[in-house]
Amino acid sequence: MEIATYDITSAEDLAIAAEALLDRARATALSFPDEAVVLALSGDLGAGKTTLVQLLARVLGVIDTVTSPTFVVMKQYETTNEAFPMLVHIDAYRIEDTDEMRPLGFATLLREPGALMCIEWAERIESLLPTHTIAATLVLNRDETRTLTINS
């Protein structure tokens, strides 16, 4: 397992970390070309998970406004990115049982080549995630900076 850590003290630092995360996602897509790439995002409330997804969406060319799918659980966006033409944003915070993912077509989405799935609170549905999931943990530090750790 490869681990990378990024100290986030500015928007520029977050952009650099997001690019590194996308590089990992592209490498995973090459290794698993017939499946979606899953980014499991964890961290406390306010750590920056949604902000990270918004930045990834912008880099991928999503035109729509990306907001947290807390109440609808999942949103899908078209991108202009060749490697990832679809961005799926899931907030699993309110999921109490993994069976709740079935009506969303989660299993089908996992088999969707070219989909980048960003799942906030992914630990709540961990048993459904593929073994090649990229884990990204955001920590809000005491000095209001953040630390992003990527495991893949």
Intervals of the chain under pLDDT 50: none
CATH assignment at residue 51: 3.40.50.300
Entry pTM: 0.94
Asked whether the beta carbons of 13 and 6 are under 8 A apart, the reply is yes
pLDDT, residue 112, reads 96
Q: How far apart are CA 47 and CA 45, in angstroms?
A: 6
CB contact burial 122-145 (16+ within 10 A = b; e otherwise)? bebbeebbeeebbbbbbbbeeeee
Q: Which domain holds residue 142?
A: 3-151
pLDDT, residue 2, reads 78
Question: Count of domains in the chain?
Answer: 1
- Phi then psi for residue 96, to 5 deg, are -100, -25
Q: How far apart are CA 132 and CA 1, in angstroms?
A: 10
pLDDT, residue 1, reads 61
